[in-house]
Chain A
Amino acid sequence: MEKMFEIYIKTTPERLWEAITDSEMRQKYSFGVGIRSDWKEGSSYEAVHPGAGIRISEGKNLEVDPPRRLVQSFTALWSDEVQSEGASRVTWDIEPVGDSCRLTVTHDELREGANNELYGGWPMILSGLKTLLETGELLTTPGSLRYSGGEAFGQVEARS
């Protein structure tokens, strides 16, 4: 099974690449989950929620071509159910269009009828990524701060 997610973000490919591969930036739009890797082809990565101290996913960097394309294998670890789905594949494609970028996330090699928790978070993650790059702010709509821990809730209160 294959799923595609597309978004236009007013930014440069370089900034977008940084937002995808920098752990601190990533935590800001990805349910508080950071990512650790040396970003070399063939090496592994690990996504960890620093607040909760739990591992969220892991896999290998199959293709690393900054600032255009990143292909990773993806094994979800946040519950027994998702872990039993095994490895799938996530491809980030960045294409400059005028003063913006078209970002396509393709999540494939999913089992037919795979648990939708595996790919269901992408719209919210990409919406948060767009908000962060275009405004420098965090997305605070319901759901976007779920699992992000007390720190993010504190930021909302401080702002309002």
Chain B
Amino acid sequence: MDEVFRALADPTRRSLLDELYRQDGQTLTALEERLPMSRFGVMKHLKVLEEAHLVTTKKRGREKLHFLNPVPIRLVYDRWVSKYAEPWAATLTGLKHQLEDG
């Protein structure tokens, strides 16, 4: 999980994730055009995101497409919410359940 926190600690990398959230499956060239950064800079940040599995890639012909992988963020949430916030969160989901069932 260290890689995930490290990858998310950088605002440029977060903006890359936001860009993929807006439009998934982009090439390096497309991402480079969207961000005020050199091709090398985008490549470097994408590599960190890929190592943290926050970005997953797929080849299509000659192109390499980049996809936002939200799963590690969910794992962080499940790991930390369950440890620190479960008592109140469970109460809230229990209450919601009760109210919805009448």
Residues of A with Cβ closer than 8 Å to B?
Answer: 1-8, 104, 106, 122-124, 126-127, 130-131, 139-146, 150, 153, 156, 160
Tell whether, in the assembled complex, residue A141 and residue B81 are in contact, meaning their CB atoms are under 8 Å apart. Answer: yes
Contact B90 A6 (CB under 8 A): no
Closest to A120 in B: B70
B67 — which chain A residues lie within 8 A by C-beta? 2-4
**Nearest 5 A/B pairs, CB to CB:** A123-B74, A4-B67, A142-B89, A6-B56, A141-B78
A/B pair count, beta carbons within 8 Å: 65
Interface residues of B (CB under 8 A from A): 24-25, 53, 56, 58, 67, 69-71, 73-75, 77-78, 81-82, 86, 89-90, 92-94, 97, 101
A153 touches B94 (CB 8 A): yes
The answer to whether B93 touches A142, judged by C-beta atoms less than 8 angstroms apart, is yes
Question: Chain A contacts of B71 at CB under 8 A?
Answer: 5-7, 122-123, 126-127
Contact B53 A127 (CB under 8 A): no
Q: What are 25 A-B residue pairs whose CB atoms fall within 8 Å in the complex? A: A1-B24, A2-B24, A2-B25, A4-B24, A4-B56, A4-B69, A5-B69, A5-B71, A6-B53, A8-B53, A122-B71, A124-B74, A127-B74, A127-B75, A127-B78, A130-B75, A139-B78, A139-B82, A141-B77, A141-B78, A142-B93, A143-B93, A144-B78, A150-B101, A160-B90
Chain A neighbourhood of B90, CB < 8 A: 140, 142, 156, 160
Q: How far is the CA of A7 from the CA of B70 in the complex (A)?
A: 10
Residues of A within 8 A of B89 (CB): 141-142
Which B residues are in CB contact (< 8 Å) with A144? 78
